[in-house]
Amino acid sequence: MQYFQGKSVYKGIVMGPVAVLKKNDYQVKRARIEDPEAEVKRVKEAVEVSKKQLGRLYDKAVREVGEASAAIFEVHQMMLEDEDYLESMENMIRTELVNAEYAAAATGDNFAEMFAAMDDEYMKARSADVKDISERLVRNLSGEGDNDLSSMEPSIIVADDLSPSETVQMDKNKILAFVLVHGSANSHTAILARMMNIPAMIGAKGVLSADANGKNAIVDGFTGTIYIGPDEATIN
């Protein structure tokens, strides 16, 4: 048996199989382009597609966790209308003659770092929101679309971190618990877990190295511990 300690976000005890979620690490390549206005147009089109996706996520979140918690997706839509954010991408394309995917990824990184460096904990947690939006833009620009997480079996979700949109895309009846390596208690993912009444813990360092996928585990949301391959004594 292996166990990993983290920080509890929502209390509760569950047992079930582990599903390790790995990010689709789409490598964004920097490419020199000949027609900057065509790339700017691509960004604008991807922004519109992203807004529609976020609208659908908002509707699903309203049904599942209520209007107050669903508001994050309205915030994401508003961020996609932020002039500084949009101008930063467009200026990068026009001045550096780079492709739209690279401009979206680089702008997202810059803005996320800016939020992460702030003293206020709430503003710090917005760094993940900016990353979520930028990754969505890059996926839409590259034709990848949304990750489909709806067909999963009931599982304890183990991941490095989860974006709010990844959290809401899952069928909440199939989520037994969340165990994240990173994340913060103020992140929207943590807020959503609390609203969905799902045991959750963050800061579970080392859990991804445990080769836990498919193994039985217990999450103790009271102590912030995950036991992988628990023995009889632990189960009882």
Where are the chain's structural domains? Answer: 2-24+148-235, 36-141
With beta carbons less than 8 A apart as the criterion, state whether 76 and 54 touch: yes
Distance CA 165, CA 189 (A): 9
Distance CA 184, CA 163 (A): 11
**CATH number of the domain at 2-24+148-235, please?**
3.50.30.10
178: helix, strand or coil:
strand
Q: What is the pLDDT of residue 168?
A: 84
Per-residue confidence at 36, pLDDT binned at 50, 70, 90? very high
Q: Which tens digits make up the pLDDT trace of 144-189?
A: 766 666 667 899 999 998 888 888 888 888 899 999 998 888 777 7
Q: Which tens digits make up the pLDDT trace of 131-151?
A: 889 999 999 999 876 666 666
156 forms bridges with which residues in the sheet? Answer: 18, 177
Tokens representing 199 are: 């045991």
**CATH number of the domain at 36-141, please?**
1.10.274.10
The answer to whether residue 223 scores a pLDDT higher than 70 is yes
pTM of the model: 0.78
With beta carbons less than 8 A apart as the criterion, state whether 137 and 28 touch: no
